A and B are shown apart, each in its own frame.
Chain A
Amino acid sequence: MAIRSYLTYVSPESIVGRLSPPTKLFLPVIVSFMALVTINFYLNLFLLLAILVVLFALAKPPSAYVKLFTGAAVWMCFVFAIFYLFLSGYKGNVIFQLGPVSIVDTSVYMVASIILRFLTMTYATVLLLCTTNQKDIVMTVRWLRLPYAFSFMLALAFRCAIMFLEDSTKVQEAQRGRAVEFNKGNLIRRLRKFIALLVPLIVISLKRTQTISNAIESRAFSFSTKKRTFYFTLQVKPVDYVIIGTLFALFALLVVSKLTLGVFMGYPI
């Protein structure tokens, strides 16, 4: 199952893969946030190059992921370019004119920045997907000392997501066996067919919740446990704390400077 393999794949021994789960999670996430808050060509470029270095030199992503995400990203960038160059209504110095269509320099700066930031987040996502699995995410939530209910529900959600995907394949096959063709017909017909896919899935999921609830209760689960054991422990080494700390600090620095000094807000080139 292709999607299932995406959800569960972890790249073979790589430097990033060997970091502890919180680090593997925070690295791409914080870098993405950093990309979001800065609109500065040089900084955006730096972030993109940084993430590309980490991804390709230190993480060994499978080519299937890279191809898929790059393909999707290129399309999105094309869309951004069209929108911001021609439809955004920015005012500035016109640098190109062809009849009624004109392109201003501010839009070009904007497009450049947006594309770089978008690519940064895209490759950060690839990094996330190929170095972490569900267990890492669940363990990180526990490490953050969030209530047990959070990490448990997260773990259950992952499992249910996979069961849901398997069920959806079966429902599709069952409906196709009754002459339902999902990719034909006008919008309204397609919607009706989609409902034929959704209703059984919802019914099955509802029935399943009762069974799951019975199963976990029978194994002593309850939300109000006085003392519970945590069998799995997280190995968080000093280097992880350093990396996470540095990332947070940099991010904080960026946000503060953006808010107070207005630095990085301009469009330099």
Chain B
Amino acid sequence: MVKAVQVKDLWWKYDGSQDWNLKGINLEVEKGEFLAIVGPTGAGKSTLCMCLNGLIPHNFMGTIKGTVVVGGMNTLEKRVADLSEKVGLVFDDPESQFIGMSVEEELVFGPENLGVPKEEIKQRMDQALDIVRMKDYLNKAPYELSGGQKQRIAIASALVTRPEIMVLDEPTSQLDPVGKAEVFSVISELKRNHNVTIILVEHLTEEIVKYADRVILLYGGRIELEGSPKDFFKEVDLLKEKGVFPPQVTELGYLLTKSYSAFDGELPLTINQAYEEITSTLRRIPGRCQK
């Protein structure tokens, strides 16, 4: 089966940069997989995202080595415009992404550029708005929308080009908790009901564990750790040293395991998991039961 994303030995250096920004990245993502990328600021996460849709190398001056193949297309050989039919990219700033004067203008922009017939644009627009749950917002202007709403429209305007792969680069970092929740619910919807391959860059590890099939740690331009959320977040010390904070309950589980051999090596990823494990342990203590 053709993989959604195949990155082979990717090296990239921005012109004027002292050191390579990406150092030998090897990454394969299956169709429909949900991959999360974590890492400190400057690790190269945004750079990697832009390599996935061709912005790097076509829009930036620098040196590239290795190959990136997305949806069967080699990013070095195809234009960014062509790659946009395979990969949608959502950035972290809701304000600068919104270039139209209304939601409708914003959504038709991508398909217009691709020469999609009018009727089909209408159809795609309706579907995308359905997914992001903003059906009645067609005529709204950007200043009438909250940050979370603008980001949802940014996701919708990436969806209208019908990409197989959605890359989201810290989509919630500028949003308040309500906005964050709105965006995560859209991401969850995409994962559950639409066979889109999702690549998400996020700092909020507590949300990542809910959706990701696989997590990778990017540090200093290299992938330093990779695995399922369960295996990945077990490495609490390594992660914290590299600037990534696992979910609090996982860190708690790690400390309790170190001190008291709790959790049998299976660290909890969610509050419920922690609750289940802790209560079953505490109930075994004679005398110390429910008050």
**B97 CB–A CB distance under 8 Å:** yes
Least distance between B47 CB and chain A CB atoms (Å)? 12
Known: A220-B110, A228-B113, A229-B115. Is A215-B95 also a contact (CB below 8 A)?
A: no
**What's the Cα separation between A226 and B88 when bound, in Å?**
21
Count residues on chain A whose CB falls below 8 Å from chain B CBs: 33
Question: Which of chain B's residues have a CB closer than 8 A to the CB of A255?
Answer: none
Within 8 A of B (CB), among A209-247: 211-222, 225-232
Least distance between B67 CB and chain A CB atoms (Å)? 20
Report yes or no: A219 in contact with B141, Cβ–Cβ below 8 A.
Answer: no
Question: Which of chain A's residues have a CB closer than 8 A to the CB of B108?
Answer: 231-232
Which 10 A/B pairs are nearest by Cβ-Cβ distance?
A: A219-B110, A220-B113, A211-B96, A220-B81, A220-B84, A231-B108, A227-B115, A218-B89, A215-B97, A229-B112
Within 8 A of A (CB), among B83-118: 84-85, 88-89, 91, 93, 95-102, 105, 108-118
Q: Give the contacting residue for B55; candidates A166, A214, A227, A231; CB below 8 A.
A: A214
Question: Which of chain A's residues have a CB closer than 8 A to the CB of B117?
Answer: 229
Within 8 A of B (CB), among A73-116: none
Report yes or no: A229 in contact with B121, Cβ–Cβ below 8 A.
Answer: yes
**What's the Cα separation between A226 and B95 when bound, in Å?**
30
Interface of B is mostly: helix
Question: Which of chain A's residues have a CB closer than 8 A to the CB of B116?
Answer: 229
Report yes or no: A162 in contact with B112, Cβ–Cβ below 8 A.
Answer: no
Interface residues of B (CB under 8 A from A): 50, 53, 55, 58-59, 79-82, 84-85, 88-89, 91, 93, 95-102, 105, 108-118, 121, 141-143, 157-158, 161
Interface residues of A (CB under 8 A from B): 1, 4, 8, 134-135, 155-156, 158-159, 162-163, 166, 208, 211-222, 225-232
**What's the Cα separation between A50 and B112 when bound, in Å?**
41
**What's the Cα separation between A1 and B53 when bound, in Å?**
37
Known: A229-B115, A229-B117. Is A214-B99 also a contact (CB below 8 A)?
A: no
Question: Which of chain B's residues have a CB closer than 8 A to the CB of A4?
Answer: 143
Report yes or no: B84 in contact with A231, Cβ–Cβ below 8 A.
Answer: no
Least distance between A227 CB and chain B CB atoms (Å)? 4
Question: Which of chain B's residues have a CB closer than 8 A to the CB of A158?
Answer: 101
Least distance between B88 CB and chain A CB atoms (Å)? 7
Known: A214-B59, A220-B85. Is A159-B100 also a contact (CB below 8 A)?
A: yes
Report yes or no: B91 in contact with A214, Cβ–Cβ below 8 A.
Answer: yes
Report yes or no: A211 in contact with B143, Cβ–Cβ below 8 A.
Answer: no
Least distance between A140 CB and chain B CB atoms (Å)? 14
Question: Which of chain A's residues have a CB closer than 8 A to the CB of B100?
Answer: 155, 159
Q: Can you list 15 contacts pairing A with B, beta carbon distance less than 8 Å? A: A155-B99, A155-B100, A163-B95, A211-B96, A212-B97, A214-B50, A214-B89, A217-B80, A217-B81, A219-B113, A220-B81, A222-B79, A222-B80, A229-B112, A232-B108
Report yes or no: B84 in contact with A228, Cβ–Cβ below 8 A.
Answer: no
Least distance between A5 CB and chain B CB atoms (Å)? 10
